[in-house]
Structures are given as C-alpha cells and as structure tokens.
C-alpha cells in the first residue's frame, strides 16, 4: 500500500553534514521524496511535535535540542513506507540500533539520534500537517517505478 511518512533529520544530522548520505539511502531504496525543507523549529512547534512526551522528564531537553539548530523535514512516499523507513532508521537508542541502519551507522547517544520517522499512519498524518502545507507536497511520477514495484 502506497503511503506517506514524515521524516526529519535532526540538528545533529544537519550540523554533522549527514543530510546527503541519509537522503541517498532513502532514494536508493526506491522511496520517493515528495516534500523537503530545511527549517529552524520554534519552541511552539517543537512542543506540539513532541506533545506526547510532555509529562516525561526528558521533554524539555527534546524541545531545547530540536530548536538549537536547523532540521531537515521531509515527506517520503512508498509502498509500506512507514514500516520500511522505521526499519531503515533503526532503534531509537543508537546503542541498540543494528549496524546498517541510519542510527546504527551515524549515532551513538540517545539524545543525539540523528533522525525522526513517523511510527504510524496516524502520526505521519499529524506530523505532516504540522510541518507542511498541501501546496508544498509534490506528488509526481518517477520513471523507474516499474523497476521498483510489480
């Protein structure tokens, strides 16, 4: 089933110049980038994005971190994109992430885990609406689709 997922390269990925390497992994897998933008996330957007963690002791650290430097927000489309991207990203804790995953290859510390990816269709819909307007999403055909999907 074709679906869209929200993916965000966090400030550590941007500051460490990992954007190209990470973006390439998604494209080489056959996923399609339908929206992308670099932005500095303000405190209000950060609190809304991480709203599910508001009662947790690390909430303020999350907000402080995500607002500290630019992030790269994306909408990525593909067959079962949400679960596929989650596998590619790896475990939230980089110490538990398999080598070959984005976090397993580029992150060491839980507080600097390089990337965020929606964990469900409901989360993807909510996160996409927080970061993108409809006119920023470019749904287009890719020429190699017949080589990626049956």
Catalytic residue ranges: 116
Q: Where are the beta strands (DSSP E) in 22-132?
A: 32-39, 71-79, 115-117
- Burial (CB count <10 Å: 0-12, 13-18, 19+), residue 142: middle
The arrangement of strands across the sheet holding 71-79 comes to 32-39, 71-79, 2-9, 115-117
Q: Report the Cα 143 to chain-centroid distance in Å.
A: 24
CB contact set of 1 (below 8 Å; sequence gap of 6+): 79, 80
Q: Are 72 and 8 in contact (CB under 8 A)?
A: yes
């Amino acid at each position: 089933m074709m679906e869209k997922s929200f993916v965000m390269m966090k400030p550590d990925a941007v500051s460490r110049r990992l954007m190209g390497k990470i973006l390439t992994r998604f494209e080489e897998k056959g996923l399609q980038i339908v929206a992308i933008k670099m932005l500095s996330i303000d405190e209000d957007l950060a609190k809304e994005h991480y709203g599910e963690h508001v009662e947790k002791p690390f909430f303020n650290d999350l907000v402080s971190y995500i607002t500290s430097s630019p992030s790269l927000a994306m909408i990525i489309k593909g067959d079962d994109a949400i679960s596929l991207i989650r596998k590619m990203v790896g475990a939230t804790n980089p110490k538990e992430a398999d080598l070959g995953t984005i976090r397993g290859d580029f992150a060491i510390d839980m507080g600097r885990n390089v990337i965020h990816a929606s964990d469900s269709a409901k989360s993807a819909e909510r996160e996409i609406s927080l970061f993108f307007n409809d006119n920023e999403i470019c749904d287009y055909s890719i020429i190699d689709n017949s080589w990626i999907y049956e």
